[in-house]
Amino acid sequence: MLDDKHKVQYKRGMANVLPLSKRVQILNMLVEGSSMRSISRVCDVSINTVSKLLVDAGEACLDMHDELVRGVKSKRVECDEIWSFIHTKAKNKAKSKNPDSAETGDVWTWTAIDADSKLMISYLAGQRSAKSGEAFMRDLAGRVTERVQLTTDGFGVYAGAVEKAFGGAVDYAMLMKIYANVPAPGETRYSPLECVGTKTEICCGNPDKAHVSTSYVERANLTIRMGNRRFTRLTNAHSKKYANHLYALALFFMHYNFVRVHKALRMSPAMAAGVSDMLWTMEDIIARMDAVAPKPGPRGPYKKRVV
């Protein structure tokens, strides 16, 4: 039993738990391209509240993806990487406050999508290195159950990573794009190079050349950049911590796979891939999140800060 003093403290602690509708609103805004500061203003909550909810949801979504996206009966998988940065870009890291930090600078999100169901099977946020590529491919190989046709771009790390993860049990091809700097009138400062052709290289097995493509995964990367504020270019909404970057990705991919209805499929990618028999809601994610979260205890006594 709590005495009267602790009953008051306990009620105060429970009062700090946001209503379900407010948490749903915040999480929906996080996966629809809103920054944390704008969510704080629109929802009339503290920025710390938004940050804490992201951490709780992100941790739960990491576990849910690892548990649920297993045994995927995929036939064609496409892989790619999408660039972002944490705290500062790699070119400016030497001038930052923590130039030796391993968690700042450029970060690449490796993604693997099922070409038929559009399910995001695997993802990894790390460096564009052989170590990250091997970890990514091992995770992908552990989630599919059948021999797949795999397509990547021409990044040299993929060949060794695919060999170590799949051995010879994969039909693997690289699609290498040829770029050229084609002059265009007007502003060209932020214009990317133009793709003027492609080259296909068969690396393993017997892939069907008609399905050697990275179009779906590149379109999924655009969805990531449009729906996750941390990937928006030329803003100050980039991630400041690696952990929060990963949590934002975990929430986004959980929503993309299980909650969001794909317009062409008219169902969620998880339903199309057979890993879920129902369309989830954000309330379902919160329910799973609350089921594993520690229960709030009584609030401790206020301690005056000594300066």
Domain boundaries along the sequence of the chain: 17-95+102-171+211-292
Answer whether residue 14 shows pLDDT above 50: no
Q: Which residue type sits at 166?
A: F
Question: Burial of 64 by CB count in 10 Å (0-12 exposed, 13-18 middle, 19+ buried)?
Answer: buried
What's the pLDDT score for residue 182? 64
What's the pLDDT score for residue 51? 95
Answer whether residue 307 shows pLDDT above 60: no
Residue 84, helix vs strand vs coil: strand
Pairing of strands 76-86, 149-152: parallel
What's the pLDDT score for residue 100? 72
Most confident of 3-17, 227-241, 274-288: 274-288
The position carrying tokens 């017997």 is 206
What's the pLDDT score for residue 159? 94
Extended beta strands in the chain, E state? 76-86, 105-114, 120-126, 149-152, 171-180, 194-204
Answer whether residue 95 shows pLDDT above 70: yes
**Mean pLDDT of the residues in the chain:** 87
Domain 17-95+102-171+211-292, CATH number (from 3.30.420.10, 3.40.50.720, 3.40.640.10, 3.40.630.10): 3.30.420.10
What's the pLDDT score for residue 9? 39
What's the pLDDT score for residue 99? 77
Percent of the chain clearing pLDDT 70 (strictly above): 85
Answer whether residue 189 shows pLDDT above 90: no
What's the pLDDT score for residue 143? 97
What's the pLDDT score for residue 5? 46
Cα separation, 34 vs 40, in Å, equals: 10
The whole model's pTM is what? 0.85
What's the pLDDT score for residue 104? 85
Answer whether residue 181 shows pLDDT above 80: no
Bridge partners (DSSP) listed for residue 125? 109
Q: What is the pLDDT of residues 72-84, one digit of tens each?
A: 999 999 999 999 9
What's the pLDDT score for residue 12? 38
Lowest-confidence segment of 212-226, 249-263, 289-303 by average pLDDT: 289-303
Answer whether residue 16 shows pLDDT above 90: no
